[in-house]
Amino acid sequence: MKDLRFEKLAKNLIHHSTKLQKGEKVLIEVEDNGFELAEELIKEAYAVGAKPYFYYRNVRMWKSIFAGADQELLADMADNDLHMIHKVDARILIQGDNNYAEMANLPIDKHNLVDKHFSHPRMNAILKKKWCYLLYPTYSIAQKANMSMDQFEDFYFDVCTLDYDKMSKAMNPLVELMGKTDRVRIIAPGTDLHFSIKGLPAIKCCGEFNIPDGEVFTAPVKNSVNGVISYNTPSEFKGFTYENIKLEFENGKIVKATANDTERINKVFDLDEGARYVGEFAIGVNPYILKPMKDTLYDEKIMGSLHFTPGSSYDDCDNGNKSSLHWDLVLIQTPEFGGGEIWFDDILIRKDGKFVLSELEGLNPENLR
């Protein structure tokens, strides 16, 4: 039986996320699974007079290619994809992995090579287009979330089709406050971190680029970060799950990094010069996402969380740090995860995951659901 919720989601992606117009070209990419949603996207693209293109990839086959690929082959593959990306106006990626850990046995050095010569050039081009990225409900992702398939599908459609217009309006006071803020301090168990965001824009994310969505981000002044942060959320990265990540900063640079595999995580941060600096600071507010599921797309939006991201900054909030890495690592500050505080210029704005300033209370979960 056809699931009408995919039809509703497709309409949101075409009309709200990408705002696709008559005559525009949209590239619809599917990774492993997602054909039911892709079909609805194609129908809706035609309905608005747009031109849909379709691209499919299988992660296991890609791993086989990457395992033996050298710099020349990866650059040629990137050029081939860039040819299509440059032709379209928008791109929607549906990731429906059969096995979220499929890339786990690809060596980290090979991952770094792929990032530098294939993934990063493609991403730079995609970010100049209208784009949207989302997962497709599979047994693999349901297992990551520790849910039955029925449970995960209900959760999936709750977070993907919530009222993002309402969220957008509630974010405006936080955007305004961050735009006036100089000094930020983050306090949590094992965490005492301070940095400046002065002069850098605050940008709201409310269903236009990522689905699900729900964050306001900026970036730290590159050399201003000092202190320590202990992330309490596992992070699956390149097929390996990192836990107990702790980073120590001096004048913006990661000078010490430890985790459940300290040697491996330091290889990640040794990718290039910018990998040991931070390109993003963001506050998560999605009221339906309450606990981690080892998927960054969801975990970075957790209500009461923040993420502090080693690697490249975004062009629309450029703090001067460039890298082939952009790794969103998440700290949850709700009582269940140890609590914590966020201070802006010596004013407490959020405590234990709840906003305490009256102008920001619209972002608390009871007001967004």
Query: Could you report the per-residue pLDDT of 66-107, keeping only the tens digit for each?
Result: 999 999 999 999 999 999 999 999 999 999 999 988 988 999
Region 137-162: mean pLDDT is 91
Residues 104 and 73 in one domain: yes
Q: What residues make up the domain containing 33?
A: 4-160
Model confidence at 365, pLDDT cuts 50, 70, 90, reads very high
Final residue belonging to a domain, choices 118, 141, 160: 160
* Dihedrals phi, psi of 262, to nearest 5 degrees: -65, -40
Q: What does the alpha-carbon distance between residue 20 and residue 43 come to, in Å, rounded to a whole number?
A: 13
Number of independent structural domains in the chain: 2
Question: What is the CATH classification number for the domain harbouring 76?
Answer: 3.40.1830.10
Residues 74 and 179 in one domain: no
Please determine, for residue 366, whether its predicted confidence score (pLDDT) is greater than 90: yes
pTM of the model: 0.83
SS3 state of residue 96: coil
Residues 149 and 231 in one domain: no
Residues 152 and 273 in one domain: no
Region 225-235: mean pLDDT is 97
Q: What does the alpha-carbon distance between residue 65 and residue 11 come to, in Å, rounded to a whole number?
A: 35
Residues 214 and 154 in one domain: no
Quickly list H helices, 132-253. 139-144, 149-160, 164-180
Residues 189 and 314 in one domain: yes
Residues 299 and 363 in one domain: yes
| Contact by Cβ (8 Å): 14, 38 | no
Q: Give the number of other Cβ atoms within 10 Å of residue 146's Cβ.
A: 11
Residues 175 and 207 in one domain: yes
What distances in angstroms separate CA 20 from CA 5, 90, 157, 163, one per listed residue? Answer: 20, 8, 22, 19
Final residue belonging to a domain, choices 139, 160, 181: 160
Q: What does the alpha-carbon distance between residue 145 and residue 127 come to, in Å, rounded to a whole number?
A: 28
Residues 154 and 189 in one domain: no
Contacts 24+ apart (CB under 8 A), 351-359: 352/304, 353/303, 353/304, 353/305, 354/304, 357/177, 359/173, 359/177
Question: Kind and range of the H or E element at 7?
Answer: helix 4-12
Residues 185 and 144 in one domain: no
Residues 105 and 182 in one domain: no
In this predicted structure, what is the pLDDT of residue 167? 94
Residues 47 and 175 in one domain: no
Final residue belonging to a domain, choices 160, 192, 213: 160
